[in-house]
Structure 1
Amino acid sequence: MPTILSLLALWLALALPAAAADLPFAVIAAPGATDQHLTRESVALIFKRKQNYWESGTRIQPVNLPPAHPLRRAFSRVILGHAPEALEDYWREMYFHGVLPPHVLASEEAVILFVRATPGAIGYVSTCVPEHGVSIVLTVGDVPTCPK
């Protein structure tokens, strides 16, 4: 028998407009944290906390936007294959193994600042990424370029 939480997650997953899954975004990392190109699969491992260290040995610090944020919803669908609500059971299970979900920050600007200031950090943004001291390691869709 489905629980109220699972029914809510299903409803939210179906209620997500198709356009939200089409939002372009760039995955950004702290400079020197990794090589300059990641795959969707490697980003999924990082955000599911199954890969915890960069090749350099630096601990990976993934950061998310709030679950209701349209970009978080698009990122979750494209990279993780599920809406954020559908991953709640996963994170409950991981918690019992001592694994916490990624940090959550309120805005894309906060994500850029966190990634720039935190060794090993990784996050995602939808806007152009001017020289903010971060590296773009993966793009999905046509991320707007910044005017010069």
Structure 2
Amino acid sequence: MRSIGLRVLLSLVAGVLSASAHADGPIAVIVAPLHADVRLDADDLALIFRRKRQYWNDGSRIQPANLAVDNAQRIAFSRAVLGADPAALDDYWNEQYFRGVRPPYVVDSNEAMLRFVAETPGAIGYVDACLAGNGVAIVGYLDGGGHWHRSRSAPTPC
């Protein structure tokens, strides 16, 4: 009897954790307006957000930005693009740091991400697709299933 109660409790906890780690809708990948014409696929995103690709085709430095580690959009983005939860990448970033490679910037909210990308040359980040607007360019989005779509506009409806 006791093990059934424990299994139910663990199941409930797992459900709560997975629900809190689920982004509510599609996630738009946004760039500074100067790079609005860039074409990226999921592999490009992984290279950029792992800091393996550091320059745009025009030679300017790429400035990737993440949302906070516990943000549902960051968790969904990391799972879809990098194949791991943000916390699981700690060892990777510790190793990279000792090689002189710093992780992407971290901002606190979608609004902060929009400002950072709009105001930072070479910036790339991601936000709730329905919030992407003036001052940034959408280069694609991740749907609710984590699949990449190359598109210049947010999916409908928003």
The TM-score normalised by the length of structure 1 is: 0.81
Matched with 2:49 is 47
Which runs of structure 1 show a deviation greater than 6 angstroms over 4 or more consecutive aligned residues? none
Name which structure has the greater RCO, CA cutoff 8 Å, separation 6+.
1
Rate the CA distance shift 1:124–1:108 in 2: closer, same or farther, 3 A.
same
2:117 to 112, 115, 118: 115
Most deviating of 69-78 and 133-142: 133-142
Matches within 5 A, 1:128-139: 128-139=130-141
**Highest Rg: 1 or 2?**
2
Aligned partners of 1:27 and 1:125 also within 8 Å: yes
Aligned partners of 1:22 and 1:74 also within 8 Å: no
Rate the CA distance shift 1:24–1:130 in 2: closer, same or farther, 3 A.
closer
CA RMSD of aligned residues (A): 2.7
The AA in structure 1 aligned to 2:138 is I
Matched with 1:93 is 95
Matched with 2:74 is 72
Overall identity of the aligned pairs, in %: 50
Q: Can you give the 5+ residue segments of structure 2 that lack an aligned partner in the other structure?
A: 1-13, 145-153
- Per-residue CA shift, 1:6-53, capped at 9, x if unaligned? xxxxxx9xx434971684200000012263431111011000000000
The TM-score normalised by the length of structure 2 is: 0.76
Matched with 2:7 is none
